[in-house]
Structure 1
Amino acid sequence: MHGEALVTSRRDLLSLIGAMAGSAAMYHAMTSLGFASESPYKGPIRLDGDPKGASVLVLGAGLAGMTAALELRKAGYKVEILEYNGRAGGRNWTLRGGDSFTELGGFGQTCEFESGLYVNPGPWRIPYHHRALLDYCKRFNVALEPFIQLNHNAFLHASRAFGGAPQRIRSVKADFQGQIAELLAKVAMQSRLDAAVTKEDQELLLQALRSWGALDRDYGYNANLISAEFRGYARDPGGGIGAEGAPGKPVGLSDILRSRLWRYLQSFAHYNFQTTMFQPVGGMDMIGKAFARELGGPIRFNARVTQIKQDDRGVTVNYVDAARPGEQRQASADWCVCTIPLSVLSQLPLDVSAKMKSAIDAVPYAASVKIGLQFKRRFWEEDEAIYGGISYTDLPIRQIAYPNSGFNRTGKGVLLGAYLYNGANAFEFTAMPPAERVARAVEFGAAIHPQYKEEFENGVAVAWHRVPFTLGCSGDWSEEARAAHYDDLCQIDGRIVLAGEHASQLPAWQEGAILSALDAVVRLHERVVRT
C-alpha cells in the first residue's frame, strides 16, 4: 500500500471515528446532506383573525386531517370530516383480538390475539425529536412508554455466515468496533498521521481508541476481560467459588465484513432511530382515538370520496356511504383540506390545476408488509433474555421486533414477525395470500428462533399496497420528483390545499403528517382572512 493512501485529513479522520461510534457526528453529517433535521415545531399555532363564518371540508380522519380540523375549529371555522373507514386514525392503526379487515382481492382477516396483545401495522415508534406529535400526546393525555430500538442482546443474522447461527448485536458491534480501533491505533503508532494530525492529537487519539475499542495495553483487541465488558462473556461472572467470568473469542474482522452484518449497525446511529423513542401505552391507535375524542362529532365515517369539484365559490365532494354504496351523496364547503393519500387521490376526478395534478401523479407509494405473530409463551425473554428491541436478518422477513411492554410475565406474547419495506421481498409478500405470508414468516423466523414452530399459535399480516384506503405505505418521493413537484403539491390550488405525510419533508412519519397539516391551515387561514 502506498504511504499517501494512509494520509487523511483531521476532519475526515474524526468524522470516521464519529460515524463508527454512532455519535452526534452522524447526525451532523446527515443534516448537511438533507437527510435529517430537527422538527421545526415550536409550540401550538395561533390562527388570529376572523374567518367570517367560513366552512372547511376535511377529507380523511388520519392525523393530518384531524390536526387540521382541530386547529380550524378552534379558530372559528365550521368543520366537517369525511373518512373512508369506520374509525379515525388512518394508518395510525392497531390490530387486537376480534378486529377484522378485508384487503384488495377480497382476502379477509380476523385478528385472533389474546386480550391485551396487539400489533401496530402502521407507525409503531415516535422519535424524541418529533416535537409536534409529542406535544399533542401531552395535550390529549396519551400515556407514552419507551420503544426499544437498540437491544444489545437481540440478534443479527446472515443466512450464509457463521453456519446460519444468529449473532448477538453486542458481540458484533464490539468486535467490529474493537478491530477497527486496533487498525486505527496501528496507523497512529506508525506515525502515518504526522502530516494530518498533531502529535498531541495522536496521543489523545490513541487514548480514545483504547477506551472506545476496548483495546489492551498494546492496543490490541483480544479475548480478555476488557473486551468481555463490551461484547459479553462466554461464561458470565457469578457468585461463590469458581465464579470468575470467562471471555469469549471475538469474531474476526474479515468474518464480520464478509457477513455484511455491519450494515445493520446504522439502524441505531440513524437520527430517526436514536434513543429515546416512544410508543403509546396500549397501542399506537391510542393517539388516533385521542384526536377523535377531542374532535367529538364532525367526522362522517364510511364516507368514500368519488369526486372533488371546486369553483370560485367553494368545494363540492361526491362520496358514497359504505353501507349504501349505490347512493351518491354530496358535501360542500367554502374550502377543502384534502389528506387523501396520493395513491388514491390520483385515481379520483379532481378539479385542480395541471401543475397540482402532475404533482399528485408523480409520487408512487412504498411497499410495506408487517406480520404480527402470537406465541404460547414469551420464549424470547424466557430462553434468550431478549426484552424489547429488534433483530435483523438478510432473510426476506428482514426484522423481528419484540414487544416493549409486559416484560417478564408468564403467558402468551405477540412479536412483529416481519417488517418489509420496499424492495423485491416487500412486493413478493404483498402478492401472497395473508395465510401464506404468516406461514412464511414462521418458516423464516425459525432460522433465528428455533422455538417458532412449536410455540406459534396465530398471526395477522398487513400488506399496505392491498389496503384500500391507502394503496401503499407512504409517499415514496424521488429526489427528481421532489425538486420538480413538491412545491406545486403543497400550494393552495383555488380552494383546495393538500396535507399529509406525502406533503412533508418527513415522509412515512406521523410528525410529517401533523407538520404538513399545521402549515396548510396557517396558509389557508391567511388567505381566508385576506379575502
Structure 2
Amino acid sequence: MDFGVRAPSRRQLLSAIARVGGTAALYQAMTTLGHAAETQFHGPPNLQGARPGSSVIVLGAGLAGMLAAYELTRAGYKVKILEFQNRPGGRNWSLRGGDTYTELGGATQKVGYAPGNYFNPGPWRIPHHHRTLLHYCKAFGVSLEPFIQYNHNTWMHSSEAFGGKPVRFNTAAADFEGNIAELLAKSVNAKALDDAVTLEDRERLLEALKGWGMLDKDYKYVSSLRASAHRGYDRPPGGGINGAPIASKDLNSLHDVLDPQVWTSIGFFMGHEMQTTMFQPVGGMDMIGKGFAKQVEGLITYNAKVSKVAQDDKGVAVTWTDTATGKTTDAKADWCVCTIPLSILGQMDLQVTDEMMAAIKAVPYSGQVKIGLEMKRRFWEEDESIYGGHSFTDQEIALISYPNNNMFKDGPAVLLGAFAREMGAYRLAGMTPEQRIEVALQQGSVLHPASYRKEFSNGASVAWSRVPWAMGCCARWNDETRKEHYQTLVGMDRRIVLAGEHASYVGCWMEGALLSSIDAITRLHKRALEA
C-alpha cells in the first residue's frame, strides 16, 4: 500500500497487511521482515574436547537440567543430577487419576480422573517454531499430535457486551471486522485518508474492505449471505426443498465489538507464540519429561533437597538432604549447572557474587491458576460441535480449553476449566481447591449453561504461587530488570551457571528452558577447556 510519496514504515505496512490479509498474512510478513523468526536453534551443541574426568553437578531434573546432563554426558563429562521431587520434568507435569498433590498451606488433592485422562497444570502446547523442543522430542521418541489452537465455533463472553451472553467466536470476529471495515470505508469515502493514500490505492482499499469486511455495494455491514458465510446463518445451507440458507439477522453493534474482551480475544491468535499450528505430546505433557529422563537414566537422584551451594576456584560443593531418610550429603564436582527456579534459588545459601544474587532476587514470578475439570461426557462435541480450541470470558477463569485427543469417544474427558492470570489468579489462589472448583463451575456455566454442572464429575486445581517447589509459574522480566540484571544472570559465576526459562528471552516456554540450557553448557564447556 502506498502511503503518499513516502515509502510506508514497517509498522504501517504490517498494520495494512493485518487489516486486509488477517493473521496468516501478517505472520508470514513478520517472518519475512525478521520480526517473527524461529527461535535460535542451530542444532545440538558442539562440546568436543572435554577433559577426561571433568565433572558437573546439575541441580534440577526439569527439561533444562536433563538436556544439560544429556549433552554433557555425550561429550564425556561425568554428570550427576539432584532433583527435589520424586519424578522428572519439573513444570513439565501432568496430573492423573490416583495422583496426590499437596500445595503450600497443606491443602491436599487426590485426583479422581478416569484411567487415561489427565490435566496439564504447566505447559500444554508447543508452537511449530519451537524447533529445539521439537528436535529433541523427535530424537527421544516423544510422539506429538496436533493441538487445536484456533476454533471459530467456540464461545466469546463479556459481561459488558452482547447483553452479557456468550456468542460464537466467529460471530464476534465477523461483526468486529464488518463494523471496522464499514467505519474505515466511510473515512475513505469522506476523503479523510487522502493525505495518506493515493487515488489508485484508495480504490483498492475500498475493494479490499468490501471483501474483507463483507460490506454491501454501499459499503455498509448489513445482514447478508456473504456476512453469514463468515459469522454463521440463521439457517445453514442444506439439501432438498428447504436447502436454501437464511442469513443471520441480528448483527452485533460497533459498541459491542469494541469491548476489550472482543478485540483482545481476536488479537490473542496474532501473538508470535499463539499461532495456530501447535502440538502436544500423545498421552500428556509429562511424556516429554519421561522421554528426556530415559536419556539420562541412572544420573538422577530424586527426593534430593538442596540447601547450600558453595564454590571456590577448584570446584563446587552442594549440600543436599534425602527427603525420604533425612540423611544429609555433600556432593562435589568441578562445575555446576543450576536450573532451580529463581523464586526458590533466592532463598537458598548460594555462594555467588552480590551482583548475581541481586539478579536472582530481582525477577518476580507469575501466579497463574489452572483447573482441570473431568466431565462425564464430551458435551461440547456432542451438543455444541466444539472440537478443540478455546472459549474466552472476562470472568476470573479467563478461558475454557477443550481437549484435543480422543475426539468422538464416549465416556469422561477432562477440559481445562480455567487459566486464570493476574487478579483472577490472585483471588483463586487464595481459595481452597474445593472453592476453586466451585468458581470454575459457576463461571463455566455461563458459557455452557445446559451441561456444565450436570456433566461435572471431579476436578483438580494448581495455583502456581502455592506450588512448593516453584512458588510461581514462570519468570516475569520487564525492560528495566532485563537491562540491569539479565546479562549477569546468564553469565558464569566462577564455576556456576544458571539455566531455565528464566535465563532466556522465550520466558514461560519449554523452548526457552532448552535454549538457555544449550547456551549455558556451551559456555561452561568453553570455560572448562580454558581452565
* Equivalent position SS for 1:355: helix
Q: How big is each residue's C-alpha offset from its partner over 1:176-227, in whole Å with a ceiling of 9 and x where there is no partner?
A: 1112112222222333333322222222222222221122233222111111
Q: Give 1:331 deviation, angstroms.
A: 1.1
Contact 2:160 2:259 in 1 (8 A): no
Aligned counterparts of 2:281 and 2:291: Cα–Cα separation in 1:
11
Q: How big is each residue's C-alpha offset from its partner over 1:41-77, in whole Å with a ceiling of 9 and x where there is no partner?
A: 0212211223232000000000000010001001000
Do residues 303 (structure 1) and 304 (structure 2) align? yes
* Equivalent position SS for 1:145: strand
Cα 1:524–1:53 change in 2 (3 A) is same
Contact 2:261 2:394 in 1 (8 A): no
Q: Give 1:14 deviation, angstroms.
A: 4.5
Q: Give 1:258 deviation, angstroms.
A: 3.9
Q: Which moved more, 1:486-495 or 1:316-325?
A: 316-325
Cα 1:449–1:342 change in 2 (3 A) is same
Do residues 429 (structure 1) and 440 (structure 2) align? no
Identical-pair percentage: 52
1:345 maps to what in 2? Answer: 345
Q: How many residues align?
A: 523
Contact 1:9 1:196 in 2 (8 A): no
Contact 1:27 1:270 in 2 (8 A): no
2:44 maps to what in 1? Answer: 44
2:16 maps to what in 1? Answer: 17
Contact 1:164 1:447 in 2 (8 A): no
Contact 2:50 2:525 in 1 (8 A): no
Aligned counterparts of 1:25 and 1:349: Cα–Cα separation in 2:
48
Q: Give 1:32 deviation, angstroms.
A: 9.2
Contact 1:146 1:279 in 2 (8 A): yes
Cα 1:269–1:54 change in 2 (3 A) is same
Contact 2:50 2:77 in 1 (8 A): no
Q: Give 1:159 deviation, angstroms.
A: 1.9
Aligned counterparts of 2:109 and 2:517: Cα–Cα separation in 1:
32
Q: How big is each residue's C-alpha offset from its partner over 1:370-401, in whole Å with a ceiling of 9 and x where there is no partner?
A: 00001111111111111100011011111100
1:473 maps to what in 2? Answer: 473
Q: Give 1:9 deviation, angstroms.
A: 9.0
Cα 1:42–1:259 change in 2 (3 A) is closer
Q: Give 1:162 deviation, angstroms.
A: 2.3
Contact 2:92 2:288 in 1 (8 A): yes
1:3 maps to what in 2? Answer: none
* Equivalent position SS for 1:438: helix
* Equivalent position SS for 1:447: helix
The residue type equivalent to 2:467 in the other structure is: V
1:483 maps to what in 2? Answer: 483
Do residues 396 (structure 1) and 396 (structure 2) align? yes
Q: Give 1:78 deviation, angstroms.
A: 0.2
Contact 1:58 1:81 in 2 (8 A): yes
1:79 maps to what in 2? Answer: 79
Aligned counterparts of 1:324 and 1:32: Cα–Cα separation in 2:
57
Q: How does 1:15-414 map to 2 (within 5 A)?
A: 15-20=14-19, 21-25=22-26, 37-249=37-249, 250-258=251-259, 260-325=261-326, 327-414=327-414
Q: Which moved more, 1:395-404 or 1:205-214?
A: 205-214
Contact 1:308 1:316 in 2 (8 A): yes
* Equivalent position SS for 1:446: helix
Q: Give 1:18 deviation, angstroms.
A: 3.0
Q: Give 1:477 deviation, angstroms.
A: 1.1
Cα 1:525–1:24 change in 2 (3 A) is farther
Contact 2:261 2:393 in 1 (8 A): no
Contact 1:58 1:69 in 2 (8 A): yes
Q: How does 1:440-451 map to 2 (within 5 A)?
A: 440-450=439-449, 451=451
Contact 1:364 1:475 in 2 (8 A): yes
Aligned counterparts of 1:408 and 1:251: Cα–Cα separation in 2:
33
The residue type equivalent to 2:23 in the other structure is: G
2:437 maps to what in 1? Answer: 438
Q: How does 1:442-461 map to 2 (within 5 A)?
A: 442-450=441-449, 451-461=451-461
TM-score, normalising length: structure 2: 0.95
Aligned counterparts of 2:231 and 2:167: Cα–Cα separation in 1:
11
Cα 1:488–1:131 change in 2 (3 A) is same
* Equivalent position SS for 2:310: strand
Aligned counterparts of 1:61 and 1:24: Cα–Cα separation in 2:
40
Q: Give 1:510 deviation, angstroms.
A: 0.2
The residue type equivalent to 2:369 in the other structure is: V
Q: Give 1:23 deviation, angstroms.
A: 4.4
Q: Which moved more, 1:118-127 or 1:199-208?
A: 199-208
Aligned counterparts of 2:276 and 2:24: Cα–Cα separation in 1:
12
